[in-house]
Amino acid sequence: MTLEMKEEIVPAVAATRPLLEVRDMKVHFPFRRGGWFTGESGFVRAVDGISFTLGEGETLGLVGESGCGKSTTAKAILNLTPPTSGEVYIDGHRIDGLTGSAMRPYRRDVQMIFQDPFASLNPRMTVGSTIGEPIKIYRLARGVDRKLEVMRLMELVGLNPRYINRYPHEFSGGQRQRIGIARALAVRPRLILCDEPVSALDVSIQAQVVNLLMDLQQKLGLSYLFIAHDLSVVRHISTRVGVMYLGRIVEMAPAEALYESPQHPYTQALLSAIPVPDPALERTRRRVVLQGEVPSPDKEYPGCPFADRCPIVDDSLCRDHPPMLAGSAHKAACFKADTSSL
């Protein structure tokens, strides 16, 4: 991101008790190729055993290539895509496997902001109806009070309340994403899953939306799981950052520690691709260029899934033994990583 964003707002430090806890979660999708009797069947391992926690007031950034399982992770937390196995806890209550009315109170605690601000809004509903519908469903206000609450939410996200009767097509992309944010805030959640909330916006608008999210976090005490491709945005907003590769978390660390001292070779490759505005510094940087393509998620790898592209692979160790996410505050799933001093 080239725009200057606010520096005075720092994400809050996580509380001791995690608001969200994910334990060894997997999301596998069955498939079949060819004919019914002669075809090949198997599973696409979209998410393949990830574990992490997220504290009150914290922002956990999740980064990685397209198809690595970031969005599936967010949907599985909300049971929009049911996990194949594993456990998900919200404030100590296990919610994986819950459906219907049993899941309803937890969906109020956890809301989602989607990537496409136009596709996620009903074109036949006005802004007032879109933001007010969650308030109506959860019976938080009715009649005039509901309308006043919708107007308050519009002001909170930087929209003019006079536009309450307009439709989504009458707004710009950035304004539509603000509508989506207001809709997520309508039920007063504690955690918001942000699924690439700025990637579909113009660069000139991205910083405004990111700063809005940070302002709201300070005012309302929100927690974020922030999924994005733009590593500069993730560094700016996140307390901690997790790096995903082929459905697994390969590195997890406080934001500054990860950016200043990446331990996993995949993280090093990602960070080396970030452009630096200083031409002299840019010429002296060491680029890590990965060879080959991303492995297929429908195959099971006995060792490290990154082995085929890793520039420091040890064939006798990495291909036959899966590395575990090891470390304390700074964790990396790599046999050659040294997080003992971090």
Nearest in space to 206 (alpha carbons), one of 160, 174, 232? 174
> 275: which DSSP letter?
-
Q: Measure CA of the first residue to CA of the last residue in the chain; give whole Å.
A: 28
C-alpha–C-alpha distance, residues 60 and 266, integer Å: 19
C-alpha–C-alpha distance, residues 11 and 58, integer Å: 6
- Per residue of the chain (342 residues), what is the pLDDT tens digit? 444 555 444 444 444 579 999 999 999 999 877 666 666 788 999 999 999 999 999 999 999 988 899 999 999 999 999 999 999 999 999 999 898 889 998 999 999 999 988 899 999 999 999 999 999 999 999 999 999 999 999 999 999 999 999 999 999 999 999 999 999 999 999 999 999 999 888 888 999 999 999 999 999 999 999 999 888 899 999 999 999 999 999 999 999 999 999 999 999 999 988 777 767 766 667 777 788 778 888 888 889 999 989 989 998 899 999 999 988 899 999 998 876 656
C-alpha–C-alpha distance, residues 317 and 116, integer Å: 42
C-alpha–C-alpha distance, residues 57 and 222, integer Å: 5
Show me where the domains of the chain are located: 18-32+43-260
The two three-digit tokens of residue 30, written as one number? 């069955």
In this structure, which CATH number among 3.40.50.150, 3.20.20.150, 3.40.50.300, 2.40.37.10 belongs to the domain 18-32+43-260?
3.40.50.300
- Can you give the pLDDT at residue 290? 82
- Can you give the pLDDT at residue 8? 43
C-alpha–C-alpha distance, residues 221 and 223, integer Å: 7
Which value, in Å, is the radius of gyration of the alpha carbons in the chain? 21
C-alpha–C-alpha distance, residues 47 and 24, integer Å: 10
C-alpha–C-alpha distance, residues 102 and 241, integer Å: 31
C-alpha–C-alpha distance, residues 185 and 117, integer Å: 15
How many Cα atoms are found within 13 Å in the side-chain-facing hemisphere of 151? 10
- Can you give the pLDDT at residue 283? 67
The two three-digit tokens of residue 271, written as one number? 């960070």
Interacting residues of 144 by C-beta distance below 8 A, sequence separation 6+: none
Contact 3, 74 (CB under 8 A): no
Contact 52, 217 (CB under 8 A): no
Supply the angle between the helices 173-185 and 143-156 in degrees, to the nearest 10.
Answer: 130
Secondary structure element (H or E) that encloses residue 28, with its range:
strand 18-33
Amino acid found at 22: V
C-alpha–C-alpha distance, residues 18 and 54, integer Å: 5
C-alpha–C-alpha distance, residues 303 and 321, integer Å: 4
Q: Report pTM.
A: 0.89
- Cα separation values, 194 from 4, 222, 269, 337, Å: 21, 12, 24, 30
Nearest in space to 166 (alpha carbons), one of 117, 116, 130? 130
- Can you give the pLDDT at residue 298? 87
